[in-house]
Chains A and B, each alone.
Chain A
């Protein structure tokens, strides 16, 4: 039998606010354990939560960018369970009436038509702290609790079970990742857990319209692992069914080392979270004006920007997509064009030299040592014939190293292109004189030798000779 996988994703997006969702403590990563805490995030008796407005603004932006409706009156709820990293014994989250509902994203898989994936809801919640084993407690067998992360703001983005393959899941996830980083509401760091995903996976016979029993897979923290975990889980469920077994509803943990999933808890062991509205927080009322204001403040989103790059700047679709991979990259590109660069050429340089240099040095585009204006200046030097394209690459490397302007590098190092025919002719004469045998070969019909002479002339001019002038003159002279 053939099986159809059915996948839904729950994505936790850690928001880039300076302070926590219900108190004024810093959200900075990596501080001394428990140094960023107060009575509220420690869950001390008598402490009360106060909602961080920035979190609401970020949630609205995320909702509008994923085509959600913004709930006019949304409610915070308590999710009750005991764990040492959960100071209050409950997590403040949203259950009924989350802030965003009924959204969607269109995903694209190479060579296929785009597909619409529904987003059920986006809600706001606080993160838990984390357990530290051994070191913090100062006892070999003890465990400690670090509550710096407790109460940091999260969005949970829940998709409908609309995804049908691991590729679709990854595509959806990448697009969501692009949007939240584009909006500047999440740093997108999957390793540090700023963007993490649980996957609900089931399989059913092809052609069926009844979903199979699903397993929830937790702890998947890279795109690669998402693909791996889902594929493993699909195969596990198919094998189970083929062997006459049944899939049980359970929570499974992904192990990145083995690439497998293993049971964490069964349905019977599942928590009864006893959700109820948090009486410490009043209902969150969001006016239409507020939503409109947020809509106005939204940046141009990747999809829109791609369209514009194609329509206004004449970029091919592939270039437009690559150049909108992140907002910073698209900004860099546009700044280069604004500084006078030809769009296609700026694009090629970004996708070529700049991407290579960024990757080689592990530098993000935001801190690229060559500014878009400098790049445009460099391109101008090629356009007006001051340097050749080849020399430009040398100049670029120097710009990257020293941060100097291209013009001054060219001047200091005497890299100005030689287009003076007299000067080039005398080099050609010397080369021909020194290589009389090769001249004879060429004249005898060995056309391939032409490249040899070009190379010799360029070498003798230290790369500065204008290649088209060299070509033209060489051709004439070699003819005899």
Chain B
């Protein structure tokens, strides 16, 4: 077996038994990156020297008998995570020279466990997009079919796992940005409950929706990564101070008697037939494993996308005000202050980011605030209540991740509304603030991966991982490899 194809658990066994060193593993991954990057484009920055140096340290730790599950494991991060001393661009030209003086809490936690950073992954600019086409550093291609998008905004994070360029990665999910690319690239992606993982040091897109999560080859790896990054952070007031469970311990508890809700609003006409049949098959699998299905309703689903594009853009318009050319990032040659602001931001931001800043500024403007922002917050509450009510009867929900498999590069670039609708099944989860898991659940006729979404109660990640693990044991979708 190729080292670069291994899961965290497989590689850990090799490292611990000293059959493979972290340096060897890191070299194998760096070689792999070198050979497939021209076709995939997962990375914005590769950091070979730092990676090998950290790997050598990890090997020393292992030699001294200290080997937790992440010691010496080569990982990569979406370029939205601040990494001290390593350029962090957020996929934007405005940050193309930004070297952060500090690191994101989630990365620090992985680093402290001995993980090795291979580099920083491509993404939609400021996490705004569903296809990775809005990156200022070129598109990322789907390893299963390079004419297709990998999904977004954590497209590089998903593609890197699918193309075996990293053992696992971190992404962020504001409206589906972990789950949709995970689904399109055939890997496991988890959006934890809002507040479960610190947002400190993660470049903000929409602060009330952003959440950090892992993208991995299988559910057990996902549990391991979540365990490492979850928990209260005194530096993030919105991170929640509840104990982090042992997610791995409950993985094998099975799904017998688990009540799974099927929200009727998510099984709509117009759902791609291949996606529909993958869902049907998944339901059949769970039924066979002893789960019970309940038809439920989330009546305000139709309003979710509109609500999201008011709240997310409003927050973004404010979050992105700090990119003004004054203290860091791109500063244009200019004549006076206003000119400096205008030019720096005009040159630094791409078209989708500008579109969202405009939308959000409008939604917050005096005279429109009540009609747009306040109304959207009220609808958000209704959507949350939908979930609370539905979860009174079920443990988890099962839905598609996206209405179609990955579309072609360029297909929706000029139709932002169509692009926005590709997140229709993932957005409500962010608005409700709860957790959801994307799992490989089949392939389209043309060979593109199809994902299944399990939605859990707030802080119900254990249920999701246990249900995901049971599905994985009963199927083999996750074992298939992209032939790149």
Contacts and interface: CB of A to CB of B under 8 A. Distances in A.
A30 interface: no
Contacts of A78: 318
- Bin the interface of chain B by size: 35 or more
B273 interface: no
A43 interface: yes
Interface string B45-70: 00000000000000000000000000
B95 A282 contact: no
A145 interface: yes
A399 to B, nearest CB: 51
A279 B337 contact: no
Interface stretch (B232-240, B277-285, B383-391): B232-240
Contacts of B235: 48, 50
Contact of B364 (A42, A80, A89): A80
A50 B82 contact: no
B236 A48 contact: yes
B101 A44 contact: yes
B373 interface: yes
B322 A274 contact: no
B100 interface: yes
A282 B237 contact: yes
Given A89-B322, A274-B318, A46 B101 contact: no
A134 to B, nearest CB: 16
A317 interface: no
Interface in A1-60: 39, 42-51
A89 B317 CA distance: 10
B106 to A, nearest CB: 11
Interface size class of A (residues with CB under 8 A): 20 to 34
B322 A88 contact: yes
A276 interface: yes
B203 A88 contact: no
Contact of B203 (A43, A46, A90, A274): A46
B379 to A, nearest CB: 16
Nearest to B98: A45
A87 interface: yes
Nearest to B345: A82
Interface in B326-373: 326-328, 337, 341, 361, 364-366, 369, 373
B208 interface: yes
B243 interface: no
B291 interface: no
Contact of B82 (A45, A80, A82): A45
A135 interface: no
Interface string B431-444: 00000000000000
Interface string B454-465: 000000000000
Contacts of B207: 279-280
A280 B328 CA distance: 22
Given A44-B100, A82-B321, A274-B364, A279 B326 contact: no
Interface in B301-327: 314-315, 317-318, 320-324, 326-327
Interface in B208-263: 208, 234-238
Q: Which among B98, B318, B320 has the highest number of chain A CB atoms within 10 Å? A: B318
B237 A39 contact: no
Interface in B98-125: 98, 100-102, 104
Contacts of B323: 45
Nearest to B315: A279
B90 interface: yes
A145 B327 contact: yes
Interface stretch (B21-29, B194-202, B292-300, B468-476): B194-202
A274 B366 contact: yes
A88 B321 contact: yes
Contacts of A272: 365-366
Nearest to B208: A279
A105 interface: no
A51 B236 CA distance: 10
A340 interface: no
A480 B53 CA distance: 112
Contacts of A145: 326-327
A49 B321 CA distance: 16
B30 interface: no
A87 B95 CA distance: 16
Given A48-B235, A49-B237, A89 B365 contact: no
A84 interface: yes
B204 interface: yes
A281 B327 contact: no
B327 A46 contact: no
A58 B364 CA distance: 31
Given A90-B321, A282-B237, A45 B315 contact: no
Given A45-B203, A48-B236, A90-B321, A39 B366 contact: no
A280 B235 CA distance: 11
A276 B369 contact: yes
Contacts of A80: 317-318, 321, 364
Interface string B62-104: 0000000000000000000110000010100001001011101
Interface string A88-102: 111000000000000
A440 to B, nearest CB: 91
Contacts of A48: 199-200, 235-238
A189 to B, nearest CB: 28
A43 B238 contact: no
B203 A39 contact: no
B314 A276 contact: yes
Contacts of A47: 200-201
B79 to A, nearest CB: 11
Interface string A272-286: 101110011110000
Interface centre among B199, B314, B327 (most CB of A within 10 A): B327
Contacts of A90: 318, 321
A87 B237 contact: no
Contacts of B314: 276
A280 B101 contact: no
B201 A43 contact: no
Nearest to A83: B337
Nearest to B321: A89
A43 B318 CA distance: 12
B324 A82 contact: yes
Contact of A51 (B88, B202, B204, B237): B237
21 contacts: A45-B203, A45-B328, A46-B81, A46-B82, A46-B100, A46-B204, A47-B201, A50-B234, A80-B318, A80-B321, A87-B326, A89-B318, A89-B321, A90-B321, A274-B361, A274-B365, A274-B369, A276-B314, A279-B207, A279-B315, A280-B204
Identify the 3 closest CB pairs spanning chains A and B, nearest first: A89-B321, A279-B208, A274-B364
Given A48-B199, A88-B321, A275-B364, 11 more contacts: A43-B322, A44-B100, A44-B102, A45-B95, A46-B104, A46-B200, A80-B364, A145-B326, A276-B364, A276-B369, A280-B238
